[in-house]
A and B are shown apart, each in its own frame.
Chain A
Amino acid sequence: MKKYTYTEQKDTRSGFGAGLTELGRTNPKVVALCADLVGSLKMQGFIDENPDRFFQIGIAEANMMGIAAGLTIGDKIPFTGTFANFSTGRVYDQIRQSIAYSGKNVKICASHAGITLGEDGATHQILEDIGMMKMLPGMVVINPCDYNQTKAATLAIADYEGPVYLRFGRPVIPVFTPSDAPFHIGKAVMLNEGTDVTIVATGHLVWEALLAGEALEKIGISAEIINIHTIKPLDKEAIIASVQKTGCVVSCEEHNCLGGLGESIARVLALEHPTPQEFVATQDTFGESGTPKQLMEKYGLDSIAIIKAVQKVLERI
């Protein structure tokens, strides 16, 4: 098992903020919009250096999505910022018609995704956003795993022409991807080669998958661990190649089991390589208040849950 270490822990939203600040310096087409959550989205760096290219919309997310669509007419690249809940479900029809169906080059950047938002509780903890966004034709869906990868993803989507949903979170988590690692949209990252089981993880669950892999190694199970930062388009070749070797898969995501990464993987495998699969995800439920760690444990999203899922899927082979 390849050893992953980290020297610091950071929030992925700060990776977004750092990426946006860099884009402010390097890409004059980039503009940013926010619906009264500048601090939470870490957008102040961009604003300080580019006040003319920032639009404070107020608490009016529907208007923000429409204005972002309009800004593309005139060759701007708008990055919208608010919580994942208000970036998707609240404004689904605006995204659907004015951005996705209209093919607009808008980057919907969504913080506080998933249950690790924590104490604010279920009203703010969206666990359905990946499903909603991946169902929109033409929408790219990205959920990076740590600070460095979120920064790299933020830079990469500016160079991609078309609508993108970029999902990141609030808690501080280990920074383990190299700061100079290239980010290729739609390309899986092989974290550890193994032979007994494939673990495909996205977002905050990638680190948990690495912890699970180390624990599994100690009990003699060799896990292949793949980081899927892009849920759509899905790197199906990487997944199929891995399960051809291991014969089983566990998908891991901070999202409802309905509509998330796991279902995308299941579809690919059902069509091309039927394979036993277990889903580490929330089980069609809303969240609740608590610390991120407590919630990850209660809702079965931590390394222990991944280990259990691996043991279960191995029994099914």
Chain B
Amino acid sequence: MNDTLQALIPQTRRDILRMVHKVNSGHPGASLGCTEFFIALYHKIMHLKPGFDMNGIGEDLFFLSNGHISPIFYSTLARRGYFPVAELSTFRLLNSRLQGHPGTHEGLPGIRVASGSLGQGMSVAIGAALSKKLNKDDRLVFSLHGDGELQEGQNWEAIMYAAGNQVDNLIATIDYNGQQIDGATDTVLPLGDLKGKFEAFGWEVLTIKEGNNIDAILHGLERAKAKTGNGKPICVLLHTVMGHGVDFMMHTHAWHGKAPNNEQLKIALNQNPETLGDY
């Protein structure tokens, strides 16, 4: 891991915490849990063209299906240069391009479809992957889904389709943190043997056990890329800790959709020192 990625980790977590604190709303838990994944994806794994165009021909694409973790998506896009970092201060405010859940309606660069109503992103990612095949574009499509989100039935339509039609230019990552709004997924609605389920549908499944270790993520995603083009869609089960990087937010669903107060923010920021400059 190089120094830039190392520096981005606490800075991104500061962005997330400050964004949700300012408007006293938003979803810090899984945003913090997916911080290393987004940084690895956007700064190392994906081949990206400069600038932004909707069609994204000749570059890798990413779709966020669990749109409520918009804070990590916005921070990543801003710090990757899609829009000014200063704009993060407008998160969830009236007339902002940074809506509570991501959308294309306000024209924020880097977003290709709206998400928030859960379970739709995998279908969209498959469509984009099929478009790439028609265009003889050998770049890849990445997507991220919550584990609780897999309770939505549309996912399983998509999972069946992708395997049945050899959509092998798709790498769908599951944020396997075991938590959702009402509690642990095992108590709300158990997912069962997720690896076995994806495999039974005909997917290639990789597991990243240390989903908050950026080296492990980089290694795992490189392995996933190496497995594309072999007739099977790729699933990455990314074991993360919801709220990672802020000790009192970890290992609980309590911070799924709750912002810290002033005192809590101070403690949380102290655990994530400023490295690249706050927005």
Per-position 1/0 for B96-120, Cβ under 8 A of A? 0000000111000000111111011
A52 interfacial contact with B, CB 8 Å: yes
B274 interfacial contact with A, CB 8 Å: no
Per-position 1/0 for B159-177, Cβ under 8 A of A? 0110011000000000000
B32 interfacial contact with A, CB 8 Å: no
Pair B134/A103 contact, Cβ less than 8 Å: no
Pair B125/A63 contact, Cβ less than 8 Å: no
**With contact pairs A63-B157, A73-B131, A74-B134 given, residues A102 and B113 touching in the complex (Cβ less than 8 Å):** yes
B124 interfacial contact with A, CB 8 Å: yes
Name the CB-closest residue of B to A100. Answer: B114
Segment at the B interface, from A91-99, A162-170, A209-217, A269-277? A91-99
Per-position 1/0 for A69-82, Cβ under 8 A of B? 11111111010000
CB-defined contacts of B157 to chain A, threshold 8 Å: 58, 60, 62-63
B271 interfacial contact with A, CB 8 Å: no
B249 interfacial contact with A, CB 8 Å: no
**With contact pairs A73-B56, A73-B61, A98-B123 given, residues A63 and B158 touching in the complex (Cβ less than 8 Å):** yes
B275 interfacial contact with A, CB 8 Å: no
Task: Give chain A nearest CB distance to B131 CB in angstroms.
Answer: 3
Task: Give chain A nearest CB distance to B78 CB in angstroms.
Answer: 21
Task: Give chain B nearest CB distance to A159 CB in angstroms.
Answer: 18
Pair A60/B127 contact, Cβ less than 8 Å: no
**With contact pairs A69-B124, A97-B117, A102-B103 given, residues A74 and B132 touching in the complex (Cβ less than 8 Å):** yes
Pair A70/B117 contact, Cβ less than 8 Å: no
Pair A73/B54 contact, Cβ less than 8 Å: yes
B95 interfacial contact with A, CB 8 Å: no
CB-defined contacts of B131 to chain A, threshold 8 Å: 70-76
Pair A97/B114 contact, Cβ less than 8 Å: yes
In Å, the complex CA distance between A70 and B130 comes to 8
B218 interfacial contact with A, CB 8 Å: no
Per-position 1/0 for A82-118, Cβ under 8 A of B? 0000000000011011100111100000000000000
In Å, the complex CA distance between A76 and B119 comes to 23
Pair A73/B112 contact, Cβ less than 8 Å: yes
Pair A63/B114 contact, Cβ less than 8 Å: no
Pair A73/B55 contact, Cβ less than 8 Å: yes
Total number of A residues with any Cβ neighbor in B under 8 Å: 32
CB-defined contacts of A103 to chain B, threshold 8 Å: 104-105
Per-position 1/0 for A40-57, Cβ under 8 A of B? 000000000000110101
Task: Give chain A nearest CB distance to B133 CB in angstroms.
Answer: 9
In Å, the complex CA distance between A62 and B55 comes to 22
In Å, the complex CA distance between A122 and B158 comes to 29
Per-position 1/0 for A234-248, Cβ under 8 A of B? 000000000000000
Task: Give chain B nearest CB distance to A76 CB in angstroms.
Answer: 5
**With contact pairs A60-B157, A66-B120 given, residues A102 and B126 touching in the complex (Cβ less than 8 Å):** no
CB-defined contacts of A31 to chain B, threshold 8 Å: 134
CB-defined contacts of B124 to chain A, threshold 8 Å: 66-67, 69-70, 73, 98
Name the CB-closest residue of B to A29. Answer: B134
Contact partner of B122 among A55, A66, A72, CB < 8 A?
Answer: A66
B30 interfacial contact with A, CB 8 Å: no
In Å, the complex CA distance between A68 and B120 comes to 12
Pair A63/B134 contact, Cβ less than 8 Å: no
Per-position 1/0 for B127-169, Cβ under 8 A of A? 1111110110100000000000000011001101100110000
Residues of B within 8 A of A (CB): 54-57, 61, 63, 103-105, 112-117, 119-132, 134-135, 137, 153-154, 157-158, 160-161, 164-165
Q: Can you show 28 pairs from A to B with CB atoms below 8 A apart?
A: A31-B134, A55-B165, A57-B161, A58-B160, A58-B161, A60-B161, A62-B123, A62-B157, A63-B154, A65-B123, A66-B126, A66-B158, A67-B124, A67-B126, A69-B127, A70-B63, A70-B125, A70-B130, A72-B131, A73-B54, A73-B55, A73-B56, A74-B132, A75-B131, A94-B123, A97-B115, A97-B116, A103-B104
In the complex, besides A66-B124, A96-B117, 12 extra interface pairs with C-beta distance below 8 angstroms are: A55-B130, A58-B161, A60-B160, A62-B119, A63-B157, A66-B120, A66-B127, A67-B161, A69-B127, A73-B113, A73-B124, A74-B56
